[in-house]
């Protein structure tokens, strides 16, 4: 199920008039970004290819073409410049300037926190780009560190705002499905969760979240549950870390105001941020925040019903959580107090009330990895050490052995490359949040990895009841795009009211050390006779 636009086999291929693809360097909701070269000038470029699986969705194709129109309208120094739009085979390509410094997310992961003056200087650049966009009637709607690229000029960072693929031009008909929620939950304004028409204040709220994260090292509200994030954003009580200057905190709170009309406009924000940059010069950065504490593993948090694993395996009863979630604040009020009766909120809340996980495990018996049934909870806590008992040596599992296991109704267990009792680190997950326009369903793909002596990886998908999905998970070299482990494939996963989250994995791998890797999940979701396919990438990590 690997998307052709994301395949390393495209490396070296010429597309458009004179562009040669080098290697994939990024993944978005609508396409894969490649590093390329303009053969006519030998200049490096970035080429964004629309996922072929999305070309049958006219709204998404229109949105992709709209991205070029929007970016051509924006000629700001802090916005990525668009060069060309072309078609190749059965896909579309967008050619942009290559910004080689990576994203602001990459920079923040290295630095953890930034000095207040540096944070306000970078935020002022983004606010200046937004001010021009808002003047043209354009709302970005997905402002976050991942969509802000950086480069170094004269020893200082400069920002380049990108990914206007889901932006809305206010004076043309909407390209978004009515009542659809678009954005990334940690950066979404309270009104955005309810499908309210976006406004410039929507971007200002996201910029306030960004500014808080640059100074504090993490967004103001942490949760793996969208309903919980809805509640926290609606309450509007961000925690002020000790050391944040008073004037900066007032500006952050103004941007994060629950009422859009009470937030400052982008042009005024530019002036205030530049003034703060001068005032806060020399103020040191805050210490990095402690890692979020995850709850201990719950033995009930396991899966049930993948058809291909149901026979012959005794699964525990469905659990309450699909994935490890951040610990709920002690003073958190009940979620139901803040959920409104609109259809959008009801759908989102239902989808994110995650339950069981269907899991499977890779094992090696002297040859190539093979997928074997296995039951495991997705937990950040290390597994308890097993009691050592002498056992007779067993031969590699054969098909007949699997059949015998099914007849007896006993689970067949296969040893992993990772010895029992070997601790793994916490799960590192990248959670996306998308409205699938084909099936009109809110989906939450979640690729994860954990490292110990080996690398463990898996992925889950949260979707409405009544749908079916196929999931494929691979571990890839982040630099070359080459698959180094997998695929682990889980087919025919069904979603019900009691099990709206299904997972594929965990799988174990021992890739080459000293390189960067990422988990890639490809999934196909079907509901009411309509299906669509997409991919999601996990965080890049070095092992």
Query: Per residue in 375-394, pLDDT tens?
Result: 222 333 333 333 334 444 44
Residue finishing a domain among 77, 97, 117? 97
Per the domain annotation, does 460 fall within a domain?
yes
259 annotated as belonging to a binding site for a ligand: no
Range 188-199 average pLDDT:
85
Residue 213 has pLDDT above 90, yes or no: yes
Is 400's pLDDT higher than 60?
A: no
Give the least confident one: 134-143, 181-190, 266-275, 467-476: 181-190
Note the pLDDT of residue 436: 66
According to the model, what pLDDT value does residue 329 have? 40
Say whether both 247 and 143 belong to one domain: yes
The reply to whether 125 falls in a domain is yes
Count of helix runs (H) and strand runs (E) in the chain = 10, 22
CB 22 within 8 A of CB 33: no
Give me the pLDDT at residue 26, please.
81
Burial of 185 (0-12, 13-18, 19+ CB in 10 A): buried
Position 54 scores a pLDDT of 67
Per-residue pLDDT, 124: 98
Range scoring the smallest mean pLDDT among 35-44, 117-126, 386-395, 500-509: 386-395
Q: Give the pLDDT score at 311.
A: 31
Annotated catalytic, 470? Answer: no
**Residue 295 located in a structural domain:** no
How far from the centroid of its chain's Cα atoms is residue 216's Cα? 21
Same domain, 35 and 149: no
The domain boundary residue, chosen from 230, 250, 279: 279
pLDDT at 336: 36
Instruction: Identify which of 172, 177, 168, 146 has the alpha carbon closest to the alpha carbon of residue 159.
Output: 146
Residue burial 297-324, b: 16+ Cβ < 10 Å; e: rest:
beeebbbbbbeebeebbebeebbebbbb
Q: What is the mean pLDDT of the chain?
A: 75
CATH code for position 25: 3.30.200.20
- Looking at the structure, do residues 215 and 362 belong to the same domain, yes or no? no
Task: Determine contact, residues 306/410, Cβ cutoff 8 Å.
Answer: no
Residue 30 has pLDDT above 90, yes or no: no
Same domain, yes or no, for 328 and 453? yes
Confidence of residue 292 (pLDDT cuts 50, 70, 90): low
Q: For residues 357 and 344, what is the distance between their CA atoms, to the nearest angstrom?
A: 25
Same domain as 433, residue 333: yes
Residue 391 within any structural domain of the chain:
no
DSSP conformational letter for 355: -
For residues 318 and 474, what is the distance between their CA atoms, to the nearest angstrom?
26
What is the share, in percent, of the chain residues with pLDDT greater than 90?
40
Query: What does the pLDDT read at residue 8?
Result: 63
Is residue 319 pLDDT above 50, yes or no?
Answer: no
> Same structural domain for residues 367 and 501?
yes
pTM above 0.75, yes or no: no
State yes or no: pLDDT of 470 exceeds 60: yes
Residue 25, domain member (yes or no):
yes
Residue 295, pLDDT above cutoff 50: no
Same domain, 317 and 196: no
CB 474 within 8 A of CB 485: yes
pLDDT at 60: 67
Are the beta carbons of 116 and 283 closer than 8 angstroms? yes
Position 5 scores a pLDDT of 57
Domain containing residue 364: 300-380+404-411+423-543
Give the pLDDT confidence of 445-467 residue by residue, as tens digits. 889 999 988 999 999 998 888 89
Q: What one-character DSSP code corresponds to residue 39?
A: T
Confidence of residue 407 (pLDDT cuts 50, 70, 90): very low
Tell me, what's the pLDDT at 6?
A: 57
pLDDT band of residue 478 (cuts 50, 70, 90) is confident
Q: Which of 23-32, 61-70, 141-150, 510-519 has the lowest mean pLDDT?
A: 61-70
As for how many domains the chain has, the answer is: 3
Q: How far apart are CA 415 and CA 365, in angstroms?
A: 9
Model pLDDT, residue 380: 30
- What confidence tens digit (pLDDT) does each residue in 338-362 have? 333 333 334 334 434 333 323 232 3
Same domain, 516 and 369: yes
Query: For residue 321, which of 305, 342, 298, 338 has the smallest C-alpha distance?
Result: 298
In a domain, 390, yes or no: no
- Residue in 38, 97, 128, 142 annotated catalytic: 142
- 402 compared with 292, residue with greater pLDDT: 292
Residues 236 and 332 in one domain: no
pLDDT at 109 over 60: yes
Higher-confidence position of 424 and 21? 21
CATH (domain of 116): 1.10.510.10
**The pLDDT of residue 188:** 92
Indicate whether 330 and 458 sit together in one domain. yes
Q: What is the pLDDT of residues 34-93, one digit of tens each?
A: 999 999 999 999 998 887 766 767 776 777 777 777 777 888 999 998 888 887 666 788
Same domain, 269 and 307: no
Judge if 429 and 315 occupy the same domain. yes
Query: Does a structural domain hold residue 393?
Result: no
Q: Is residue 270 part of a domain?
A: yes
What are the start-end ranges of the E strands in 41-172?
A: 43-50, 82-88, 91-97, 138-139, 148-153, 156-161, 168-169
In whole angstroms, what is the distance from residue 444 CA to residue 434 CA? 7
Examine the pLDDT at 425 and tell me if it is beyond 60: yes
Q: Which of 166, 168, 162, 175 is nearest to 139 (CA)?
A: 168
């Amino acid at each position: 199920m690997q998307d052709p636009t994301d395949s390393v086999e495209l490396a070296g291929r010429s597309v458009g008039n004179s562009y040669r693809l080098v290697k994939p360097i990024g993944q978005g909701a609508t396409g894969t970004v490649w590093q390329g070269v303009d053969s006519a000038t030998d200049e490096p470029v970035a080429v964004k290819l629309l996922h072929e699986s999305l070309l049958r969705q006219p709204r998404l194709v229109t949105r992709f073409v709209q991205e070029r129109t929007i970016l051509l309208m924006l000629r700001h120094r802090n916005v990525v410049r668009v060069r060309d739009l072309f078609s190749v085979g059965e896909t579309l390509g967008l050619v942009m300037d290559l910004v080689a410094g990576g994203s602001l997310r990459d920079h923040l992961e290295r630095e953890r926190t930034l000095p207040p003056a540096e944070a306000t200087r970078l935020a002022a650049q983004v606010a200046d780009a937004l001010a021009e966009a808002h003047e043209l009637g354009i709302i970005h709607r997905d402002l976050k560190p991942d969509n802000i690229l950086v480069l170094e000029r004269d020893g200082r960072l400069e920002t380049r705002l990108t990914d206007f693929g889901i932006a809305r031009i206010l004076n043309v008909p909407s390209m978004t499905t009515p009542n659809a929620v678009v954005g990334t939950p940690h950066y979404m304004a309270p009104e955005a969760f309810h499908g309210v028409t976006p406004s410039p204040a929507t971007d200002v709220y996201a910029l306030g979240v960004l500014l808080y994260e640059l100074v504090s090292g993490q967004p103001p509200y942490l949760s793996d549950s969208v309903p919980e994030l809805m509640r926290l954003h609606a309450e509007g009580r961000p925690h002020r870390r000790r050391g944040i200057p008073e004037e900066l905190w007032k500006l952050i709170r103004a941007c994060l105001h629950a009422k859009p009309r009470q937030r400052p406009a982008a042009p005024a924000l530019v002036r205030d941020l530049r003034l703060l940059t001068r005032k806060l010069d020399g103020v040191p950065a805050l210490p990095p925040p402690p890692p979020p504490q995850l709850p201990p593993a719950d033995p009930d948090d396991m899966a049930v019903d993948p058809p291909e694993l149901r026979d012959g395996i005794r699964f525990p009863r469905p659990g309450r959580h699909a994935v490890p979630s951040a610990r709920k604040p002690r003073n958190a009020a009940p979620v139901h107090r803040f959920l409104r009766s609109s259809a959008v909120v009801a759908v989102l809340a239902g989808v994110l009330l995650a339950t069981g996980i269907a899991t499977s495990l890779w094992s090696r018996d002297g040859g190539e990895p093979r997928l074997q049934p296995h039951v495991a909870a997705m937990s950040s806590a290390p597994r308890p050490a097993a009691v050592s008992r002498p056992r007779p040596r067993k031969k590699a599992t054969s098909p007949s052995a699997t059949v015998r296991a099914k007849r007896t109704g006993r689970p067949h267990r296969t040893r992993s490359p990772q010895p029992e009792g070997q601790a793994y680190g916490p799960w590192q997950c990248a959670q996306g949040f998308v409205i699938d326009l084909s099936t009109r369903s809110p989906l939450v793909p979640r690729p994860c990895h954990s490292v110990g002596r080996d690398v463990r990886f898996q992925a889950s998908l949260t979707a409405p009841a009544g749908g079916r999905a196929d999931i494929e998970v691979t571990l890839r070299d982040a630099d070359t795009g080459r698959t180094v482990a997998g695929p682990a494939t889980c087919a025919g996963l069904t979603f019900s009211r009691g099990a709206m989250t299904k997972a594929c994995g965990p799988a174990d791998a021992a890739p080459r050390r000293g390189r960067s890797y990422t988990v890639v999940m490809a999934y196909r979701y079907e509901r009411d006779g309509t299906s669509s396919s997409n991919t999601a990438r996990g965080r890049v990590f070095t092992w």
